[in-house]
A and B are shown apart, each in its own frame.
Chain A
């Protein structure tokens, strides 16, 4: 059990709170905040500022019908929303992305596995399993990549990342995350653009695995 040293940058937190962070990144931020009291406090400070903006907003006249409609519905039964709870190493937002089922790992070669959580034109989010001592094929990014460690640890040019640590890598970073020797590393990763692999084989696999 070590302290989290790599946190969510303030601009990403503000974007998350104001609802302006793209869905895949929002998942990673929500997962980190689930593990990190410092970032939760920072997030709630942004909410306080959002609340101050709301409280000083210009008022608009509301119709009488709205009031009646709301009070009529106070006793109406509400549809139960599925409630996902943390399970093992996966905080609740990850469990929700997994729809409450275990990850469906697909081999990527070299013992590395991934489980896609979602992928669309805005980007993708996935779980990565890296056996101890193994490295993810070297790659860089067209856009932004967020990687949150859920189990074990890895290291790359930017430093060492343990459970709860978040790596923020932009298009300038060309990195090769390597899992530490003591345990397999499981990460939650999100990108807003396909990764660029430096060697041919992963590049050929890319469309197949949507990474």
Chain B
């Protein structure tokens, strides 16, 4: 990809490549161009034109975490995994320790979670979740599994169909909703923020926990709903 990396004219190509590895391009990377470079590109640009439905967002707007996670998921990219590790491991450790787990054990949880991220990367769907949300749920699940020594009940997985066209607009929208949510969280009064942190750290029972967060969860919920509707959903037979 080096040959297009710094050329702003090929920004759309890079974005496209980030979201959907084109077999043709992949072939080019591995084995060197088999056809003149220009032809490879223009062919891909034509494919881009065919997908009129989504305005491709500028790459700089999608969060780094999302691009790293997609590189891990689609290319098994270790450098991207290292970046994810550097970003999340200290936060994860801090988060887990806040729920009262000593430092050494907290590192065990971090290890477990990071390896789960690597091995279960195919379950990450950026149309519905920002990386932090996905990692949060893995962390809580692993925490409970470790305490109970059995797997906690989880809903049916809704897998993406292989080769589904990624919807960059939707991915970006989820990213931005989450950004706003983080800003709203940071703007809360310390007591309110503390209550929310306690809730999501799992310190409160369902009778005690704080659902009147004062945070605008409605908008992100509608956005995730749109992401869900893009999945091939096999419930029809059941209901």
Residues of A within 8 A of B (CB): 1-2, 10-12, 14-15, 17-21, 23, 26-27, 29-31, 33-35, 37-38, 40-63, 66-67, 69-71, 73-74, 78, 81, 85-86, 89, 91-93, 96-97, 163-164
Chain B residues near A49: list those with CB within 8 A: 181, 185, 196, 200, 213, 215, 217
Q: B170 interface residue, CB < 8 Å from A?
A: no
Interface pairs A-B: 3 shortest CB-CB = A51-B132, A51-B133, A15-B206
Taking A23-B152, A45-B217 as known contacts, 8 extra A-B pairs with beta carbons closer than 8 A to each other, sorted by chain A number, are A15-B204, A17-B140, A50-B140, A51-B133, A54-B92, A60-B106, A62-B89, A62-B93
Chain A residues near B81: list those with CB within 8 A: 74
**Secondary structure class of chain B's binding surface, majority of residues:** helix
Contact B202 A45 (CB under 8 A): no
How many angstroms from the CA of A57 to the CA of B135 in the assembled complex?
13
Contact A51 B89 (CB under 8 A): no
Chain B residues near A44: list those with CB within 8 A: 128-129, 133, 221, 224, 228
Q: B78 interface residue, CB < 8 Å from A?
A: yes
Number of A-B contacts (CB under 8 A): 216
Give the contact stretch, choosing among B19-27, B53-61, B112-120.
B112-120
Contact A70 B114 (CB under 8 A): yes
Residues of B within 8 A of A (CB): 78, 81-82, 85, 88-95, 97-98, 103, 106-107, 110-111, 114-115, 118-119, 128-137, 139-141, 143-144, 148, 151-158, 177-178, 181-182, 185-186, 196-197, 199-207, 209, 211, 213, 215, 217, 220-222, 224-225, 228-229, 233, 235-236, 238-239
How many angstroms from the CA of A19 to the CA of B151 in the assembled complex?
12
Chain A residues near B178: list those with CB within 8 A: 48, 51-52
Query: Which of B204, B207, B215, B220 has the most chain A CB within a 10 Å cutoff?
Result: B220
Contact B209 A11 (CB under 8 A): yes
Chain B residues near A67: list those with CB within 8 A: 85, 89
Chain A residues near B115: list those with CB within 8 A: 70, 73-74, 78
Contact A1 B153 (CB under 8 A): no
B199 to nearest A CB, angstroms? 6
Contact B228 A26 (CB under 8 A): no
Chain B residues near A85: list those with CB within 8 A: 156
Chain B residues near A70: list those with CB within 8 A: 85, 111, 114-115
